[in-house]
Every structure is written in C-alpha cells, then in structure tokens.
Structure 1
C-alpha cells in the first residue's frame, strides 16, 4: 500500500448552538496516501468542509473535536503531528499553509481587492519560503505561469477585479502552492465556474499534484466532477464516510444505497424527455441522535435492521469498503437501480 501522509481515527466534531449540540462529524476513520487525489463527495451539509477544516484548526469557535485523532506525517524524516492535540494559534501556524493549504470555493472571498495579485502571492512566498524579495517575485511569476496565467509580468500588477472567475481561482491556487504545502485541500474549487473552466481547473490540479508532489483532498457535491481526476473517492453522508474505494470501485461497483442515489442523480445518465432523478426526503437532523443507518429513512430498499443498528464497514475488496447491511452475508439480495447497472455496463466515465 502507498505511504500514508494523514490518518484519521474515530474523529468526532460537535458544535454548540443556542444551547443545543450538533454532532457534525460522527466517528470518521480514513487515510490519505502520499501523492494521491482523494475526493470527498456528498450533499451540502454532510460535513465535508467541517471535516477538512479540522486538519487546519479552522473550526468556528463553537466547534470542537470531542473524540478521535488525526495524525499528519508531513515531509520525510519529520516527526508525526497529532493535529487534534494542537490548541494554540501559534501551533497551528506551523501547519496551516506551509504543511496543509486550502483553496476555498469562492476566490473573491480569498483575495484582497486592495492588493495586486502579485503582492498577494509574494506574501505567501515570503512567509513560507526563506527567500529575499527579488527571489520571491521571480517565484511568484513562475507560479503564475504554472497555473496557466499568460503574461505573468503584466498580470503581476493587476487587481482581482480585473480577472475572470476562472483566472481568480487560478490565482488562489497559486497562493496555495506558494505556501509550499504537502497537502492541498480543494473545497468545491469549481462550483462557481462554467463547465469548460471547471475541466481546466481540474486538469490544472492534476498537473500541479505531480509537479509539486502534492497529496490532494478534493471536496465536491458532484460525483461527475471527480470521475476523471480522483484516485480514490470517499462518499460522505450525515457526518460519516459511508463508502470509500478507488474511482473505479465507486463508479462501477458502488454498494451503498446512498452512492447508488448519487450516481442516479448524475445528468450524464438522464434520459431525454424524462425528469432527472432526485433523492427523496432530506438529510437527518444532526441535533438529534441517529439510530441505525442515517440514510435509512430515505432509502426505499432499507432493511429493518437499518433503523435499529448502525452498520459497520464491510470489505468489498482490499481497496473498497462500505457501511451497509446489504453487504452482510445474511442480507437479502438487492439489485442496484437500473441507472447504476447502465453505468457499470456502459462505461460512461
């Protein structure tokens, strides 16, 4: 197996809101391998951003890790860091940016309108790399070229409002790369972009992964976005990872009913003249205790035990596992929806 750069064990995160407790992350365990792209997929509100923000100490003040741990192994020959043990901002500053960097989904909220983009990238270089201003500018121009911005010298002196949405996202990526991180977290980096620009940004992330030896966590609500970029895919629902495997495992051999529902919702599998599939119901209320499988109330194929006891992980293969009682040897045989069979047989991705 590839070397691990990050491991998470039984992580729980809770928020205190108006005297109530919201159980946002419910005992997640997973690992990130060096040099891979891991996509975390799920509906809005499933906890994807909260989960990854905990790796950088970016939880809101009312949010706390209440159980479990996350261990970052960093560059070669460095001592592992137990991220959940870090409490002070001074401790997090050694990790945030330089070791683990994040790209947010709206580049305009990440960029200052009062500074040129060259100055903003240079600030990251000077903060995280031991170079003088002349070398920092030279590296900034190189980063601009690396993220696909033409005429770097000219663009260096321009402001964010002079760039398109796709170009601003490239600038934000350049700032993240300038921090010289080991892990790059991309939080819905293509949400506000049109389809053509989405593809370009995803291709760019793939290129930079190799050039800068990055391990990438890509957060998205759209399974179709990750079909051609992710080495592994983790499907998240109600604060838990309910299925994880290679891209081929998830797209061609999905086993959890929620993953089936996500695949059925893809526009690519729609039939002309018919309505697109939508998942019935709404996600569970995380202010209340969840019994059994969190997806059971929305699952027309749910078993009785799904409402009583939470399923453990069942191994489908050495690279693929899912939390569903359908994989128990005592469960009745349930066929996936016809759309999922169509994906398996048609090779749409």
Structure 2
C-alpha cells in the first residue's frame, strides 16, 4: 500500500455548545489517510464518525467548533500543506469543499434537487470545479454517468431524480462527487438505504472508481460486514475516539479491543440458528460529562479496575495495528476474546 500521507489528523478535539452545556464529541483523535487507500471508520450511531469527517469540509453545525489539534491536508493543487482546522472563511472552504475533498451522503434523495434534471446537476459540478465550457461539460457528464454504471446516459441525462431507483440515485450522487475532481472522497453510510444486492454493487463501484480516479476514500459505516471486502484499513470508533486501527485482516482476524470484539460478535454472519443475535449491553457514555478512563469500561465484562480510572494509551500490536485497551499492557491478566471472535479467526468467514 502507498505510504504517502494525504491527510494527517493529530489530537483533534471537537465540541458543541448546546443549552449552556458543552458536548465533547471528538476526544483527541489522531489518524492518517494514505493516498489511494480505502479507510473505513466503523462504530455505533452517535460515536462521532460523521462529525469527525464533516470537520474536514467545514460542515460542522454553527454551535460546533474545533477546540484543539490539527488536520493537515497534503493534496492541495498548489502543493502546499493546509491545516483544515485553521480554515475559517467560507470562501476558503469553497476552494477545498468538492474540488479537494468531496462527500457522498447516505440518503441520495436529499442530496439531489427534484426540480433539476440529473444531467444539469452533474454538469453544475463540472462547470464549477473544472475549467471547461458547456459543450465539454456535457461530454464529461455523459462519461461520468457511464462510469458509475448508468446505462443509456444520453437518455438519462434529461431525466429527473424521481425517475431513478434508490440505487441509481446513489450512483448519480457518486457521479456528482467524482465530477468535482476530488483527491479525497468521504462516503457517509453510502449503502444504508439500499438492499443487499445493490449494496454490493455500490461497494464494487467505489473500488473501481478509487483506481480509475486515483481517489483516497474514507468509508463511514456502523456495519463491520460492509467493510470486509472493500477496506484496506479499518478504524474502530467509540465515544468520539478511535479505539483500534489496523488493516482489514488485523481487525477481523486479530482484534484486540473489547469494543471491536463486541462489534464482531454482533455480525449476523456469525449468528447461530435458533439463538438470539448478540447485542452490546448498556449505552454509550454521556459526552456532556467528563469521560474517565476507558469509555467502553461500563459495558465491558472484562474491564479492569484501571479502566475506570485512567484512559488507556495506544498499545502497538504490530507495525500496522494498534489499540487503546489496558488488556494489552504487559501487566494485565490474560483475556481471551469471546468464542464468536475466535470462530471468525479460525473459520475464515471473511
């Protein structure tokens, strides 16, 4: 895998002010994205996945702000490094948003204007981000439609969003993002509203486009099963922090954090017929209050006393794999993963 960084996040803190209280949504995250890779960010709803990535495009709500840390983008057209946390003016964000970093939202219907044809909406992105005339813009639009797997693009160009199925609308949204000519493509739950067959097609399409357009992709999802065949690396996120990160093989076959074990145990693929599917007990912590120790400790049956007192650092499992859990401390007692996780390790389910 290419080890040239395109984005480097260090100790990023994001907070929101709401009704006189402060919500600490992102708690000191550090992360690298490499050129040409697909990095999946996985975690329960509310873990901070979307907030984290929206900060790269200046899309935080008005009551949200970066309270510390950096997010350095290395892929700018002029070759200069840009710390995205220092970008404040909307006109500066407009140079980055779309052209440098583009995002695909999870509901394509809310991303498309029902009053404009598909062709016009893709052409708008081409005209805004590529220095071409209308004739060339239309030619490129037809090519993008074909590239995302929409048949008969000449006919489809003049149709409206309501004339497309959910899967086809998602392809159109992807075409609009590609038309912006970005370096980084953020996909926020791009397959949530689609059935399993269409899900697989969209994921295959993202893999193809990654190579064709030399994209670096961040895939946000709550479903570990979705990333098994697409991601190069996986970041597991919990309560505004990345608790484990590694290659796809590291996470599926050698997971070390109890939260990752719980997510793997929740996969329908590992369920046993006639028994209830595993669900993680308890609820995530209240991020309005200070989180002491390991945020997952109250839900972790193997939690140590120190988990309730001191936040764990990263422990290096291998050159590509690290996790924030005191279970990896040399002084900790041996803790075996749940039987289901051992089954995944030995059974090659993915």
TM-score (normalised: structure 2): 0.99
Aligned pairs (5 A) from 1:1-349: 2-75=3-76, 78-349=79-350
Q: CA deviation at 1:77?
A: 6.2
8 Å contact kept, 2:236–2:242: yes
Shift of 1:342: 0.2
Aligned-partner Cα distance in 2 for 1:89–1:145: 33
For the residues of structure 2 that align with 1:76 and 1:171, how far apart are their CA atoms? Answer: 26
Give a deviation string over 1:110-141, Cα, whole Å, max 9, x none: 00000000000000000000000000000000
- CA–CA distance in structure 2, aligned partners of residues 173 and 302 of structure 1: 42
SS at match of 1:13: strand
Distance 1:151 1:246 in 2: 39
State the SS of the aligned residue for 1:55: helix
Single out whichever of 75-84 and 18-27 deviates more from structure 2.
75-84
For 2:128 and 2:92, the matched residues in 1 are separated by: 16
Distance 1:338 1:278 in 2: 15
Deviation per CA, 1:116-174: give whole Å up to 9, x if none.
00000000000000000000000000000000000000000000000000000000000
Secondary structure of 2:205's counterpart equals helix
Per-residue CA shift, 1:8-50, capped at 9, x if unaligned? Answer: 0000000000000000000000100000000000000000000
SS of 2:332's equivalent in the other structure is: coil
User: Secondary structure of the residue that 1:6 maps to in structure 2?
Assistant: strand
Q: 1:202, CA displacement in angstroms?
A: 0.2
Structure-1 separation of matches of 2:110 and 2:65:
24
> Secondary structure in 1 aligned to 2:57?
coil
Superposition deviation, residue 234 in structure 1: 0.1
Distance in structure 2 (CA, Å) of the matches to 1:200 and 1:80: 35
C-alpha distance in 1 between matches for 2:60 and 2:321: 30
- Match of 2:198, SS state, is helix
Distance 2:77 2:326 in 1: 40
Question: For the residues of structure 2 that align with 1:160 and 1:286, how far apart are their CA atoms?
Answer: 39
Q: What secondary structure, in the 3-state scheme, does the structure 2 residue paired with 1:54 have?
A: helix
**Counterpart-to-counterpart distance in 1, 2:282 and 2:194:** 28
Measure, in 1, the Cα distance between the counterparts of 2:254 and 2:112: 41
Is there any run of 5+ residues in structure 1 with no aligned partner, and where?
none
The TM-score with structure 1 as length reference comes to: 0.99
Q: CA deviation at 1:75?
A: 5.0
- Structure 2: which 5+ residue stretches go unaligned? none
8 Å contact kept, 2:76–2:82: no
Q: 1: distance between equivalents of 2:211 and 2:41?
A: 20
Which stretches of structure 1, 4 residues or more, deviate above 3 A after TM superposition? Answer: none
Per-residue CA distance 1:45-92 (angstroms, 9 max, x = gap): 000000000000000000000000100001576001110000000010
